[in-house]
Amino acid sequence: MFCPPGSLYDGAKHLCINRHEKVTCGPQPTTQAPITTTDPNAAPPCDPVLCQLPECFCSNDGTKIPGDLPRAQTPQLVMITFDGAVNHLNFDTYNTIFLENRTSPNGCPIRATFFMTHDYNDYSKVQEMYSQGHEMAVASVSRRQGLEDESAANWTGEMVTMREILKNYASVNTDEVIGMRAPHLKPGRNAQFEMIYDYNFVWDSSMVVPPQKIPVWPYTLDYKIPHECKSGTCPTGSFPGIWEIPMNSHYMDERFEGGYCPYLDQCGLNFFSENDVFEWLKSDFHRHYDKNRAPYMIAVSVNWFNTPANHKGLLRFIDYTLSLYMKTCSRCPSSYPWVFDARGIGGTNI
């Protein structure tokens, strides 16, 4: 540091003083580093010897194919998820995806997982979607901010109550509502997963994987999560048998601009044509299909369909994935039963 003429730098005070004042020189006092302790309840790193399917699955970086299957023998799973209410404003739009001629290679019609909130829901439309075979999961009653910092009791009030609302207003079987997504993709640290464990949910899909070239497979929370926690509010404890279906960030390669996003409609696809949207989705999809075939999640809100090019490009992309010879599933829990025995294509009828 330079002081003006007639002054000197005082290292203790960290400022310039008149040169006639007493100046403190020599070594400066040090601040002792804080003592850190290891959380005794923290989940340990993955132990692939102890962690065995069907009860447990983990890998050190999350990119390992279950059962050490070769990529060519690994089914490519495609998951379609929607967040928020179902009502007259989006019901017909959503159904443009689920035409009778769009079926999985196993002959079943493709279906989606709906993460439900209470506001603006038309429960007659929810009941109709459910009767068509779509899965209902929960994303809280109110979708309010700040839930990630609250107690397990408050998470129960939001998620379990939403499950009961679906039962009472849309005749959704409570035993079939086994998944959830945290509001605004901010997991509730250990409190959320204590609630999941206590109230017989099976899986969560709230954790966002930062952009990386090889995507992450679903894993159980017996061990430490294998990727960076983008939200900063992921669980640190061990929750045996609870599945996490991570949201791999959609990857924009050098041909496209728009950043990275867990939801399709969060990427800046300004001025994209229908063909641009299709080519972008196709390029992003092949990062999964050509690498480790981790499930590819099409996560959207109704905002995506406000742009006709996005809507048409997505429909073209879905038809493209169905044209490939692969297992294409869209309901989250039913999309990985083959993982439980890791027999690969032909091992289990999905």
- Tell me what pLDDT residue 349 has: 32
Confirm whether 44 is domain-assigned: no
Confirm whether 47 is domain-assigned: no
Name, in order, each residue with C-beta under 8 angstroms of 139's C-beta and a sequence gap of 6 or more: 83, 84, 115, 116, 117, 162, 180, 181, 182, 183
- Tell me what pLDDT residue 72 has: 85
The single residue listed with the structure tokens 């992921």 is 234
Does position 12 have pLDDT exceeding 70, yes or no?
A: no
* Spatial separation of the C-alpha atoms in residues 319 and 294, rounded to whole Å: 19
Report how far apart, in Å, the C-alpha atoms of 90 and of each of 105, 124, 174, 257 are. Answer: 27, 13, 24, 28
* Spatial separation of the C-alpha atoms in residues 153 and 21, rounded to whole Å: 61
* Spatial separation of the C-alpha atoms in residues 178 and 156, rounded to whole Å: 14
Confirm whether 35 is domain-assigned: no
* Spatial separation of the C-alpha atoms in residues 161 and 279, rounded to whole Å: 41
Assign residue 141 the CATH number of its domain. 3.20.20.370
Strand 7-10 with 15-18, pairing: antiparallel
- Tell me what pLDDT residue 333 has: 42
Tens-place pLDDT, residues 217-242: 999 999 999 999 989 999 999 999 99
What total of structural domains would you count in the chain?
1
Confirm whether 183 is domain-assigned: yes
| Cβ count near 333 (within 10 Å) | 17
Tens-place pLDDT, residues 193-212: 999 999 999 999 999 999 89
Confirm whether 273 is domain-assigned: yes
Does position 62 have pLDDT exceeding 90, yes or no?
A: yes
Q: Which of 101-105, 110-114, 212-216 has the lowest mean pLDDT?
A: 101-105
Q: Which two tokens stand for residue 282?
A: 């196709």
Q: Which residue has the higher pLDDT, 107 or 13?
A: 107
Confirm whether 222 is domain-assigned: yes
| Cβ count near 344 (within 10 Å) | 19
Report how far apart, in Å, the C-alpha atoms of 184 and of each of 145, 177, 287, 314, 315 are. Answer: 8, 20, 25, 23, 26
> By percentage, how much of the chain surpasses pLDDT 70?
80
Cis ω for the linkage preceding 54 (within 30 of 0): yes
Q: Are 273 and 289 in contact (CB under 8 A)?
A: no
Report the side by side order of strands in the sheet with 203-204.
Answer: 219-221, 239-244, 203-204, 179-180, 135-138, 113-116, 78-83, 296-300
Report which secondary-structure segment, H or E, holds 198. helix 189-198
Rank 86-90, 254-258, 302-306 by mean pLDDT and report only the highest: 86-90
Domain holding 303, by residue range, is 66-341
Confidence of residue 106 (pLDDT cuts 50, 70, 90): confident
> By percentage, how much of the chain surpasses pLDDT 90?
67
What is the CA 345 to chain-centroid distance, rounded? 25
What is the CA 102 to chain-centroid distance, rounded? 25
Does position 343 have pLDDT exceeding 90, yes or no?
A: no
Rank 49-63, 151-165, 282-296, 316-330 by mean pLDDT and report only the highest: 151-165
Confirm whether 26 is domain-assigned: no
Confirm whether 24 is domain-assigned: no
Q: What's the chain's length in residues? A: 350
